[in-house]
């Protein structure tokens, strides 16, 4: 999808898309009477409205052919040209007062799918402030919806469905710099989210730790302002990351630590945030082997890492005035003869000893060392993102990211960002009672806390290593993958919460 802003549409365009709102359709006018007049067709359109075919209700689509449009007026701009698009598509948004970012994003995704099913290569879409509100926000949401809704993953299909490249023109009447900026930002954030989806959707025999490392090196090479450092097995060992290495030791694939840096405020090192993504490229469970039905989704166990790596590229492009470090300690969790045993005790980078009660609780082990590394290197704020617990899916299902943390400002910023991006966040507790469940009889802490409050004890485990540093943990086990396509969210990898991380960093800059 190529999206650009236009003052007015190309005459003779193949499709013109017009939003309608249920509360704007009045008996005395045709739905779009305030936007333009359609030559000689008023009665015809009124009939469509009276018969209920154009009502403006959410999700409604009405496709008409060959209408000559005169007197085109929107956003207080009057256009002299007559328009004669081959087709005109009316798309209902429902009540305009309730039409928010999410409504526009979903409608735009619906439009992208319709255009594709019509095999069209270009279309124009009217962005009109009187029904949509703030134009730059509308541009952002619509562009994201077109990009994210147009996504499909067929890299591994031999007979690919022919994908046509679609040119979309957003008609804004007048082109302002702030509009261009909004479009540019949306293209950067949605491209990042799409890259994250691809990383997660690709199979685990392709996306292994080495692949994530090479992918990240490529990103850093393509983006001048994005720095990279790679930790190989020797370096990981020298750093003392024995909790991370314990997870990696059951696999023939070498682990790689990936550290990406955006130096947005070089003079003020304290102005920083660390984004730490879980990077288990395949989670078999290790010796505490998962049942087959639970293993099929485990190529997605690097979704947090994918979101961090791709968000870092977007962040370096958007260049906020804050130092951001993205860290992903990538490994497989496999059960070979050298694998970590149940009952092993490992010494983490922090010096704390950990009893391994279940090798399938591997994410928190890698995160414990990542958090310690961040603290030793001056982290002032930390967000970790992980497909951490099945219990998170039980608690919140597939529509909400669970957020745990010790800092209300960071929690609130993430939540507000998620409201804007549509990657919704729900606050979860870190109560003292469940913290006790992680106590070990033989080591400083153990890596499972039993069945009750499984996502809370997992968060507590990470919290033990975080200490007082402002921190939020996002458990994305329920939201990284979607079983079906819903609006701008495709079946398969969702790209969550890549765009929310970017938005949060932009809001935290100073």
Active site residues: 290, 364
Q: Is residue 438 within 8 Å of residue 358, measured between CB atoms?
A: no
Q: Find the binder of ligand BES among 110, 198, 331, 387 (CB under 6 A).
A: 387
Residue 116 has phi, psi (to 5 degrees) of -65, -45
Residue 363 as a binder of ligand BES (CB under 6 A): the answer is yes
- Minimum CB distance to Mn ion, residue 362 (Å): 5
Give 215 or 282: the residue with its C-beta nearer to ligand BES.
Answer: 282
Q: Is residue 104 within 8 Å of residue 182, measured between CB atoms?
A: no
- Minimum CB distance to Mn ion, residue 355 (Å): 16
Binding segment for ligand BES among 44-52, 111-119, 137-145, 354-362 (CB under 6 A)? 354-362
Residue 285 as a binder of Zn ion (CB under 5 A): the answer is no
Secondary element (H or E) of residue 327:
strand 323-333
Instruction: Tell me whether strands 323-333 and 256-263 are parallel, antiparallel or unpaired.
Output: antiparallel
Helix (H, G, I), strand (E, B) or coil at 14: coil
Q: Find the binder of Zn ion among 60, 128, 144, 283 (CB under 5 A).
A: 283
The CA distance from 30 to 32, in Å, is 6
477 is in the binding site of which of Zn ion, Mn ion, ligand BES, none (Cβ under 5 to 8 A by kind)? ligand BES
Angle at 492 between CA 503 and CA 209, to 5 degrees: 75
- Minimum CB distance to ligand BES, residue 296 (Å): 10
- Minimum CB distance to Zn ion, residue 308 (Å): 16
The CA distance from 398 to 468, in Å, is 30
SS (H, E, C) 439-460: CCCCCCEECCCCCCCHHHHHHH
| Helical ranges in 342-423 per DSSP H | 363-376, 390-396, 408-421
Give 188 or 329: the residue with its C-beta nearer to Mn ion.
Answer: 329
- Within a 10 A sphere around the Cβ of 118, how many other Cβ atoms? 14
Give 325 or 339: the residue with its C-beta nearer to ligand BES.
Answer: 339
Q: Which of 263, 267, 185, 253 is nearest to 228 (CA)?
A: 263
Residue 475 as a binder of Mn ion (CB under 5 A): the answer is no
Q: Which residue has the tokens 């998170």?
A: 392
Interaction mask 159-198, ligand BES, x per CB under 6 A:
----------------------------------------
Helix (H, G, I), strand (E, B) or coil at 291: coil
- Minimum CB distance to Zn ion, residue 283 (Å): 4
- Minimum CB distance to ligand BES, residue 398 (Å): 10
Give 386 or 411: the residue with its C-beta nearer to Zn ion.
Answer: 386
Q: Is residue 464 within 8 Å of residue 352, measured between CB atoms?
A: yes
- What region, left, alpha or beta, does residue 446 occupy, with left being phi > 0 and alpha being psi -120 to 50 degrees? beta
Give 79 or 245: the residue with its C-beta nearer to Zn ion.
Answer: 245
Q: Find the binder of Mn ion among 283, 384, 423, 503 (CB under 5 A).
A: 283
391 is in the binding site of which of ligand BES, Zn ion, Mn ion, none (Cβ under 5 to 8 A by kind)? ligand BES
Give 280 or 339: the residue with its C-beta nearer to Zn ion.
Answer: 280
Q: Find the binder of Zn ion among 169, 301, 369, 464 (CB under 5 A).
A: 301
The angle, 0 to 180 degrees and rounded to 10, between the axes of the packed helices 303-318 and 209-222 is: 10
> Binding to ligand BES (CB under 6 A): which residues in 48-77?
none
Q: Which of 198, 262, 200, 205 is nearest to 228 (CA)?
A: 262
- Minimum CB distance to ligand BES, residue 280 (Å): 6
Give 169 or 362: the residue with its C-beta nearer to Mn ion.
Answer: 362
Residue 362 as a binder of ligand BES (CB under 6 A): the answer is yes
Q: Find the binder of Zn ion among 173, 255, 363, 463 (CB under 5 A).
A: 363
The CA distance from 56 to 198, in Å, is 35
Q: Find the binder of Mn ion among 313, 357, 360, 503 (CB under 5 A).
A: 360
Report DSSP state, residue 59: T
- Minimum CB distance to ligand BES, residue 390 (Å): 3
Helix (H, G, I), strand (E, B) or coil at 261: strand
Q: Two tokens at 66?
A: 């060959």
The CA distance from 338 to 354, in Å, is 18
297 is in the binding site of which of ligand BES, Mn ion, Zn ion, none (Cβ under 5 to 8 A by kind)? ligand BES
Q: Find the binder of ligand BES among 477, 489, 506, 508 (CB under 6 A).
A: 477
Give 243 or 280: the residue with its C-beta nearer to Zn ion.
Answer: 280
Helix (H, G, I), strand (E, B) or coil at 303: helix
Which residues make up the interface to Zn ion (CB under 5 A)?
A: 280, 283, 301, 363
Site for ligand BES, rule CB under 6 A: 283, 297, 301, 358, 360-363, 387-391, 393, 448, 454, 477
The residues of the shown chain that bind Mn ion, judged by CB under 5 A, are 283, 360, 362
């Amino acid at each position: 999808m190529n999206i650009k802003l236009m003052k007015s549409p190309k005459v003779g365009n193949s499709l013109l898309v017009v939003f309608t709102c249920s509360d704007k359709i009045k008996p005395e006018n045709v739905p779009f009477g305030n936007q333009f007049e359609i030559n000689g067709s008023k009665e015809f359109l009124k009939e469509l409205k009276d018969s209920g075919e154009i009502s403006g209700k959410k999700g409604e689509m009405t496709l008409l052919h060959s209408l000559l449009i005169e007197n085109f007026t929107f956003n207080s701009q009057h256009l002299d040209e007559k328009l004669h698009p081959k087709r005109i598509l009316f798309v209902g948004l429902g009540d305009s007062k309730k039409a928010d970012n999410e409504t526009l994003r979903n409608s735009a995704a619906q439009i992208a799918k319709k255009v594709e099913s019509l095999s069209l290569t270009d279309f124009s879409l009217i962005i009109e402030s009187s029904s949509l509100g703030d134009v730059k926000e509308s541009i952002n949401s619509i562009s994201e919806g077109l990009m994210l809704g147009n996504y499909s993953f067929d890299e591994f299909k031999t007979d690919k469905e022919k994908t046509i490249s679609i040119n979309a023109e957003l008609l804004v009447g007048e082109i302002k710099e702030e509009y261009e900026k909004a479009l540019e930002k949306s293209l950067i954030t949605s491209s990042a989210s799409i890259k994250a989806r691809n990383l997660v959707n690709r199979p685990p025999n392709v996306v292994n730790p080495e692949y994530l490392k090479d992918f990240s090196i490529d990103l850093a090479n393509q983006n001048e302002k994005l720095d990279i450092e790679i930790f190989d097995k020797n370096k990981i060992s020298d750093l003392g990351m024995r909790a991370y290495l314990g997870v990696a030791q059951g696999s023939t694939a070498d682990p790689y630590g990936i550290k990406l840096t955006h130096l947005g405020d070089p003079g003020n090192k304290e102005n920083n945030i660390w984004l730490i993504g879980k990077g288990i490229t395949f989670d078999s469970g290790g010796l505490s082997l998962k049942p087959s039905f639970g293993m099929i989704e485990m190529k997605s166990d690097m979704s947090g890492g994918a979101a961090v790596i791709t968000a870092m590229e977007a962040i370096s492009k958007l260049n906020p005035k804050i130092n951001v470090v993205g860290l992903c300690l990538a490994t497989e969790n496999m059960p070979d003869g050298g694998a970590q045993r149940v009952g092993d005790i490992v010494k983490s980078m922090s010096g704390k000893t950990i009893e391994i009660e279940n090798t399938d609780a591997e994410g928190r082990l890698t995160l414990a060392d990542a958090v310690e590394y961040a603290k030793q290197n001056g982290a002032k704020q930390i967000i970790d993102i992980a497909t951490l617990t099945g219990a998170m899916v039980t608690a919140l299902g597939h529509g909400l990211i669970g957020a745990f943390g010790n800092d209300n400002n960071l929690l609130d910023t993430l939540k507000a960002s998620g409201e804007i991006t549509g990657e919704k966040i729900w606050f979860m507790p870190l109560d003292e009672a469940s913290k006790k469940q992680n106590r070990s009889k033989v080591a400083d802490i153990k890596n499972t806390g039993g069945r009750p409050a499984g996502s809370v004890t997992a968060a507590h485990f990470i919290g033990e290593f975080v200490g007082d540093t402002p921190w939020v943990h996002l458990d994305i086990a329920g939201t990284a993958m979607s079983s079906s396509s819903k609006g701008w969210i495709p079946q398969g990898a969702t790209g969550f919460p890549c765009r929310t991380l970017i938005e949060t960093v932009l809001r935290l800059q100073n």
